Amino acid sequence: MHRRTESKDVFPGAYEVCVGGVVAAGESYEETARRELAEELGIERVEPLFLFIHRYTGPRKQCLIGVYNVEWNGPIRHQDTEVTWGAWISPDQLDQMLGRGSSCPIILRSIGGFFY
């Protein structure tokens, strides 16, 4: 779980359980996933496992989201311009936190974990 910085254009200060970004011209979803993992969490040399494409339609934005899973047991290095706080938490703690503060509306609960 991490909290987005207040300077973010979309969902500033909101809690979320994933990292992500905009796919650059000529870049694949998988390349974007690898780039964002490295930029936002310092995770490199992993192979994201493709799960599904999700279509999000909200009041301010609409997009297609490539959802991937990555297993990682190493250190996490949050990018200061993206994340103000982050920690490993249990599913019960996640449920409690989401009830106390704003969260990104694109969080989907799935068997075995939480996905964005």
Q: Which residue type sits at 71?
A: E
| CATH number, domain with residue 67 | 3.90.79.10
Domains of the chain: total: 1
- Predicted pLDDT at 2: 85
Residues 6+ apart with CB under 8 A from 44: 34, 37, 38
- Predicted pLDDT at 30: 93
What dihedral angle (degrees, nearest 10) is formed by the CA atoms of 9, 36, 66, 15?
A: -50
What distances in angstroms separate CA 7 from CA 80, 81, 82, 95, 110, one per listed residue? 11, 8, 8, 25, 29
- Residues 24/32, Cβ–Cβ less than 8 Å: yes
The whole domain housing 111 covers 2-115
- Predicted pLDDT at 113: 44
10 Å CB burial of residue 71 (0-12, 13-18, 19+) is exposed
Q: What is the pLDDT along the chain (116 residues), one digit of tens a residue?
A: 888 899 988 788 888 878 888 899 999 999 999 999 998 899 999 999 999 988 878 777 788 888 899 999 899 999 898 899 888 888 788 777 766 666 666 554 433 444 43
Q: How far apart are CA 86 and CA 63, in angstroms?
A: 25
- Predicted pLDDT at 111: 34
- Predicted pLDDT at 101: 62
